[in-house]
Copies of this chain bind each other. A is one copy, B any other.
Amino acid sequence: MAELRREPITRMWVVITADHPKGPSDYLPFKPPYQPQAATGVCPFCPGNEAMTPKETFSLRGEGGGWSVRVVPNKFPFFHIEGDFDRRPEGMYDVMEAIGAHEIAVESPDHHQNLATLEPSQIQKILFAYRERLIDLERDRRFQQFLILKNYPGIFNRHPHSHIMAMPVIPRRIDEEIWGVLDYYQRKERCIFCDIIKEETSVKRRVVLETSHFLTFSPFASRYPFETWIIPKVHSSDFHSIQEEEMEDLSIVMQSLFLRYYKLLSDPPYSLTFHTSPVQSRFHRPEYHWHIEIRLRIGLREGFEWGTGFFVNPTPPEAAALYLREVE
């Protein structure tokens, strides 16, 4: 099991996993992060190896019975589905069990695809799987927040996959956004994300792509080089309320954006997250505006960012958006 420990000063929750605590030898020899790893042995996400994963929670299957998208519980989850929170003090500190869900969406049967090479129709199936899982997980009243996360390339397995998580607490970054959204709403009775959409479509310099349902742009205060956000143009607080027509549009946007990245930066590593409102009526925020944030894992200034929570970005978003717009 893993514990959630509360950092007493800033009150941030940290997951401390203790099932298989990692000692010094687990970090040796030191490997730089994100170095592509050699394919070793058999891939548990490839067709034919389904028995290597826990029992699937969702799949999309064709007439022949083969799956096109498959969701399975993570064998090494950050959050465990069984058990009680057991909230308790430990000396002056606060602890609880890390209860939650942590599933893996296998995005394609093909080990060698990625979001730049998949057909939009396949990406739409992935979005559909996300939505179905969140609708199901929402029935578990213990969860306050969903997170969909993709690291490319995958750190432990290069087969295309992403993480679907349900968490028992609202993570810091979402909490900060909600605070800002509510404060803005109080002052103006408008959604700050809707205002950003108006500003960006009017100024245009930071827009990468605009389709009927989504705006893709480099945010004004981009923290990372070539950071982009994809946001629904009509206000909606929850990703999992997305409609078929919007999923179709979004899948085209995603394929186009990741193909642009692929061509412009030679298949760069990236992380992608869906930011969506907390769930359960006590925590749900209709003022929130769901969106996708994409960060390329390029550049070198992590120490400074870590020390200060202060980001330095040497690629202005206006330049980034121009490059991304003009990719052939």
Contact = CB atoms under 8 A, between A and B. Distances in A.
Residue picked from A27, A181, A307, most chain B C-beta under 10 Å: A307
Contacts of A35: 32
A34 to B, nearest CB: 5
Nearest to A315: B22
Say which size band chain A's interface belongs to.
Answer: 35 or more
Interface string A257-282: 00000001111110101000000000
B23 A173 contact: no
Contacts of A267: 30
Interface stretch (A4-12, A52-60, A124-132): A4-12
A171 B34 contact: no
B308 A174 contact: yes
Contact of A306 (B30, B90, B155, B271): B271
Interface string A311-328: 111111101000100000
A32 B30 contact: no
Interface stretch (A63-71, A104-112, A134-142, A292-300): A292-300
A29 interface: yes
A309 B116 CA distance: 27
A221 interface: yes
Contacts of A192: 8-9
A48 interface: no
Contact of A304 (B78, B299, B309, B313): B78
Given A28-B265, A30-B266, 14 more contacts: A2-B312, A8-B184, A8-B196, A9-B184, A9-B192, A21-B319, A30-B265, A30-B267, A30-B298, A32-B33, A91-B202, A92-B199, A172-B308, A271-B307
The 3 closest A-B pairs by CB, nearest first: A172-B309, A273-B307, A173-B309
Interface of A: 2, 5-18, 20-24, 26-30, 32-35, 78, 90-93, 147, 149-151, 155, 163, 167, 171-177, 179-181, 184, 192-193, 195-196, 199, 202-203, 219-223, 225, 264-269, 271, 273, 293, 295-304, 306-317, 319, 323
